[in-house]
C-alpha cells in the first residue's frame, strides 16, 4: 500500500485570503501547506471543515510577554500562558518585546528573552527590541549585530519616566535603524503634557482611575505623532506608530501618508470597542481598563474604523499587557491606588480575533477579506514574516485557524487562558469562534484542548524587509533644509 501523499487535509471549508473567499481543501505535508484545491487526498488525517471558515492563523505584532513594565513590574504571563491564550484565540505568531531598561546591555536582554520564549512558547514568535538606553555601545556595537541576527524591528517610547527617549537621541536611533534596515516602532505620546496633567490632577485630589484617561490628553497623541513623523522624514526612516487611539492621531497619519512618507500604523481592539467611560467604575475597579493611551470616545472609534477602511491604519494588534487585579499587578500600591500608581495595560491576545471576527465578519463591518488582512497578512508583510506567515498559500507554514462562524459565546473571565485573571471584554456576546488551530501543521487547539508542549514554538528570524527600506527621498524631492539634514547622516 502506498503512503498517503499528505499528512493532513482540511476538507471542504471556505478558505479566505485578503482578496478571495472560496471553497477548497487545504493539504499539508510536514509543516507546510502543499496544495489548495478541490478533491485533494488522501491524507493520513482529515479535519472536516464543512460549514467552517479556514483562515490564516492570526499574527499579533504587538504583545508584551513575560516583560518588565516601565515601573519595573513583571507582567502576569509567561511565554507558555500568553502563547497558549493566543492559540485559543486563533493567533499563531506573536511579535513580543525584548525590553532594555537603562543600564542593561542590549545583547544580554535579547539572550534573556530568547531563553524565556524557548522554554515556554507554544506558537512561533519574533521580537521587537525596545531601546531605553541609546548609548554608543547599544547603537553602534550591539544593535547592528542583533538586527543581522534576525531582530528586524526596534521599539521606542516617547513617554513613561523610565523608558522615554528624548528627541535628540531619538534621531540617533532613527539613523541606527536606517543603517541596519530595521523598522522603527513607537509609543508616541507627549510626555511633558501627560506628566504636567498627572501632577496637577493628583495635587487637586483627582486620583480615581478615570483621571488616567483625562491625563493622557487627546492632543498629546497627535502632537507626538507629528513630531516623530517630522524626525523620521528628516532621516528618511520608515516608522510604525503603535496603538492609535484618537481621530486626530489617525488624521495625522493620513496626512503623512498623503505626502508619500513611509508611515505605518496600528490600532487595537480596546480603541475600537472600549471608551474612557469604562474606567469610570466604583473604587479601583476601573484600573482593569487602564492602558496607555487610554480608550477614548465613540467618535474616535468611528474615526478609527474609517481609517482602517481607508488603509491609513494597516494592522490591529492586541497590545497584550496583562496585570492581575491584585497586589502583584494593578493593586501593587494597595487596594485604593491613585491612577499614577496603576500598571498600564490590558490582556488581549485571546480576545483580539474573536472581537474583530464578530464585528467585521458576523456583523459585516469591513468584511472577511479585510479581517484576514488586518489581523494576519498585513502584519506578516510589514514585519517581513510573509509569505511564510499570514496567508493560506502553497509553500506557507500551515498556520491555520478554522472558525465556526455560527458559534455564539458570551465572554467570561474564566474562559481566558492567560494569567491576568480577567478580561476587559467580559459579558460581551460574540458570534464566531476559532474551533481548531494549527501551527506549522500541528493541530494545537482542538475540542477546547491544547495539544502543544511548552517550547515547541520557534523563533522567527527576520530582517526589516521591504517595509523598513527608506524611500530614497533624501536624494530625490526633499527641501534644501531637509537635504542639509540628510548630509549630516
At 202, list the grid cell: 493628583
Q: Which residue number, 96 or 436, has a Cβ lying nearer to ligand URP?
A: 96
Instruction: Tell me how far, at minimum, the Cβ of 109 lies from ligand URP, in Å.
Output: 16
Q: Which residue number, 18 or 67, has a Cβ lying nearer to Zn ion?
A: 67
Instruction: Tell me how far, at minimum, the Cβ of 454 lies from Zn ion, in Å.
Output: 24
Task: Report how many residues bind Zn ion under the rule CB under 5 A.
Answer: 2
Q: Mind spelling out the 3-state secondary structure of the chain?
A: CCCCCEEEEEEEEEEECCCCEEEEEEEEECCEEEEEECCCCCEEEEEECCCCEEEECEEECCECCCCECCCCCECCCCHHHHHHHHHHCCEEEEEEEEECCCCCCHHHHHHHHHHHHHHHCCCEEEEEEECCCCCHHHHHHHHHHHHHCCECEEEEECCCCCCECCHHHHHHHHHHHHHHCCEEEEECCCHHHHHHHHHHHHHCCCCCCHHHHHHCCHHHHHHHHHHHHHHHHHHCCCEEECCCCCHHHHHHHHHHHHCCCCEEEEECHHHHHCCHHHHCCCCCHHHHHCCCCCCCCHHHHHHHHHHHHHCCCCEECCCECCCCCCCCCCCCCCCCCCHHHCCCCECCCCCHHHHHHHHHHHCCCCCHHHHHHHHHHHHHHHCCCCCCCCCCCCCCECCEEEEEEEEEEECCHHHCCCCCCCCCCCCCEEEEEEEEEEECCEEEEECCEECCCCCCCCECCECCCHHHCCCCCCCCCCCHHHHHHHHCC
Instruction: Tell me how far, at minimum, the Cβ of 291 lies from ligand URP, in Å.
Output: 3
When CB distances are held under 5 to 8 angstroms depending on the partner's kind, the choice from Zn ion, ligand URP, none that residue 78 binds is none
> Residues interacting with ligand URP, by CB under 6 A?
64, 187, 291-292, 319, 321, 344-345
Instruction: Tell me how far, at minimum, the Cβ of 319 lies from Zn ion, in Å.
Output: 4
When CB distances are held under 5 to 8 angstroms depending on the partner's kind, the choice from ligand URP, Zn ion, none that residue 338 binds is none
Instruction: Tell me how far, at minimum, the Cβ of 65 lies from ligand URP, in Å.
Output: 11
At 238, list the grid cell: 520608515
For cell 533624501, name the residue.
474
When CB distances are held under 5 to 8 angstroms depending on the partner's kind, the choice from Zn ion, ligand URP, none that residue 291 binds is ligand URP
Q: Which residue number, 151 or 187, has a Cβ lying nearer to ligand URP?
A: 187
When CB distances are held under 5 to 8 angstroms depending on the partner's kind, the choice from ligand URP, Zn ion, none that residue 375 binds is none
Instruction: Tell me how far, at minimum, the Cβ of 226 lies from ligand URP, in Å.
Output: 19
When CB distances are held under 5 to 8 angstroms depending on the partner's kind, the choice from ligand URP, Zn ion, none that residue 345 binds is ligand URP
In this structure, the strands spanning 400-410 and 53-56 are: antiparallel
Is position 296 an interface residue for Zn ion (rule: CB under 5 A)? no
Q: Are 237 and 470 within 8 A, CB to CB? A: yes
Q: Which residue number, 142 or 319, has a Cβ lying nearer to Zn ion?
A: 319
Instruction: Tell me how far, at minimum, the Cβ of 187 lies from ligand URP, in Å.
Output: 5
Instruction: Tell me how far, at minimum, the Cβ of 64 lies from Zn ion, in Å.
Output: 6
Q: Which residue number, 130 or 175, has a Cβ lying nearer to ligand URP?
A: 130
Which x/- pattern, by CB under 5 A, does the window 186-225 give for Zn ion? -x--------------------------------------
Which x/- pattern, by CB under 5 A, does the window 306-325 give for Zn ion? -------------x------
**Contacts with Zn ion in 4-63 (CB under 5 A)?**
none
**Contacts with Zn ion in 421-460 (CB under 5 A)?**
none
Q: Which residue number, 64 or 462, has a Cβ lying nearer to ligand URP?
A: 64
Q: Which residue number, 345 or 354, has a Cβ lying nearer to ligand URP?
A: 345
Instruction: Tell me how far, at minimum, the Cβ of 424 lies from ligand URP, in Å.
Output: 12
Residue of 365, 364, 320, 357 lying closest to 435 (CA atoms)? 357
When CB distances are held under 5 to 8 angstroms depending on the partner's kind, the choice from ligand URP, Zn ion, none that residue 344 binds is ligand URP
For 147, list phi and psi in degrees, rounded to 5. -65, -45
Instruction: Tell me how far, at minimum, the Cβ of 131 lies from ligand URP, in Å.
Output: 14
- Report d(CA 344, CA 70) in Å as an integer: 9
**Contacts with Zn ion in 164-193 (CB under 5 A)?**
187
Residues paired with 123 in a beta bridge? none
Residue of 285, 240, 237, 235 lying closest to 267 (CA atoms)? 240
Q: Which residue number, 284 or 321, has a Cβ lying nearer to ligand URP?
A: 321
- Report d(CA 308, CA 410) in Å as an integer: 26
Residue nearest Zn ion, CB atom distance: 187
When CB distances are held under 5 to 8 angstroms depending on the partner's kind, the choice from ligand URP, Zn ion, none that residue 391 binds is none
Q: Which residue number, 89 or 293, has a Cβ lying nearer to ligand URP?
A: 293
Instruction: Tell me how far, at minimum, the Cβ of 138 lies from ligand URP, in Å.
Output: 20
Q: Which residue number, 14 or 187, has a Cβ lying nearer to Zn ion?
A: 187
Instruction: Tell me how far, at minimum, the Cβ of 271 lies from ligand URP, in Å.
Output: 11
Q: Which residue number, 216 or 388, has a Cβ lying nearer to Zn ion?
A: 216
Q: Which residue number, 128 or 370, has a Cβ lying nearer to Zn ion?
A: 128
Binding site for Zn ion (CB under 5 A): 187, 319
Amino acid at each position: 500500500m502506498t503512503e498517503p501523499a499528505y499528512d493532513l487535509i482540511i476538507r471542504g471549508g471556505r478558505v479566505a485570503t485578503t482578496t478571495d473567499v472560496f471553497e477548497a481543501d487545504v493539504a499539508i505535508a510536514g509543516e507546510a501547506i502543499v496544495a489548495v484545491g478541490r478533491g485533494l487526498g488522501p491524507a493520513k488525517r482529515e479535519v472536516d471543515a464543512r460549514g467552517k471558515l479556514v483562515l490564516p492563523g492570526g499574527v499579533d505584532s504587538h504583545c508584551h510577554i513575560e516583560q518588565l513594565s516601565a515601573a519595573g513590574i513583571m507582567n502576569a504571563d509567561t511565554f507558555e500562558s500568553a502563547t497558549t491564550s493566543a492559540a485559543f484565540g486563533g493567533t499563531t505568531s506573536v511579535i513580543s518585546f525584548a525590553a532594555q531598561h537603562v543600564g542593561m546591555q542590549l545583547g544580554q536582554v535579547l539572550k534573556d528573552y530568547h531563553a524565556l520564549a524557548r522554554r515556554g512558547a507554544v506558537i512561533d514568535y519574533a521580537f521587537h527590541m525596545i531601546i531605553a538606553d541609546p548609548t554608543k555601545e547599544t547603537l553602534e556595537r550591539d544593535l547592528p549585530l542583533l538586527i543581522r541576527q534576525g531582530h528586524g524591528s526596534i521599539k521606542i517610547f516617547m513617554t513613561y519616566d523610565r523608558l522615554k527617549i528624548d528627541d535628540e537621541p531619538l534621531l540617533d536611533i532613527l539613523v541606527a535603524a536606517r543603517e541596519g534596515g530595521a523598522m522603527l516602532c513607537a509609543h508616541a505620546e507627549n510626555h511633558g503634557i501627560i506628566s504636567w496633567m498627572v501632577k496637577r490632577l493628583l495635587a487637586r485630589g483627582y486620583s480615581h482611575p478615570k483621571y488616567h484617561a483625562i491625563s493622557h490628553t487627546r492632543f498629546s497623541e497627535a502632537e507626538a505623532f507629528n513630531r516623530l513623523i517630522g524626525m523620521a522624514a528628516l532621516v528618511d526612516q520608515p516608522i510604525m506608530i503603535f496603538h492609535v487611539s484618537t481621530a486626530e492621531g489617525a488624521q495625522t497619519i493620513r496626512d503623512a501618508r498623503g505626502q508619500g512618507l513611509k508611515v505605518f500604523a496600528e490600532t487595537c481592539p480596546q480603541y475600537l470597542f472600549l471608551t474612557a467611560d469604562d474606567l469610570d467604575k466604583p473604587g479601583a475597579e476601573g484600573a482593569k481598563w487602564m492602558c496607555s493611551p487610554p480608550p477614548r470616545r465613540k467618535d474616535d472609534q468611528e474615526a478609527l474604523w474609517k481609517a482602517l477602511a481607508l488603509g491609513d491604519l494597516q494592522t490591529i494588534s492586541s497590545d497584550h499587557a496583562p496585570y492581575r487585579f491584585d497586589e502583584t499587578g494593578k493593586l501593587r500600591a494597595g487596594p485604593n491606588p491613585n491612577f499614577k500608581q496603576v500598571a498600564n495595560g490590558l490582556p488581549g491576545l485571546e480576545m483580539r480575533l474573536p472581537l474583530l471576527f464578530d464585528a467585521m465578519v458576523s456583523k459585516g463591518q469591513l468584511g472577511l477579506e479585510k479581517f484576514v488582512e488586518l489581523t494576519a497578512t498585513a502584519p506578516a508583510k510589514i514585519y517581513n514574516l510573509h509569505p511564510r506567515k499570514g496567508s493560506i498559500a502553497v509553500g506557507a507554514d500551515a498556520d491555520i485557524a478554522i472558525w465556526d462562524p455560527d458559534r455564539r459565546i458570551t465572554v467570561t473571565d474564566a474562559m481566558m487562558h492567560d494569567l491576568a485573571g480577567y478580561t476587559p471584554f467580559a459579558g460581551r456576546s460574540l458570534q464566531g469562534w476559532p474551533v481548531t488551530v494549527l501551527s506549522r501543521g500541528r493541530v494545537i487547539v482542538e475540542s477546547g484542548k491544547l495539544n502543544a508542549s511548552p517550547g515547541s514554538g520557534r523563533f522567527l528570524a527576520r530582517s526589516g524587509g521591504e517595509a523598513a527600506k527608506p524611500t530614497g527621498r533624501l536624494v530625490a524631492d526633499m527641501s534644501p533644509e531637509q537635504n542639509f539634514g540628510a548630509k549630516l547622516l
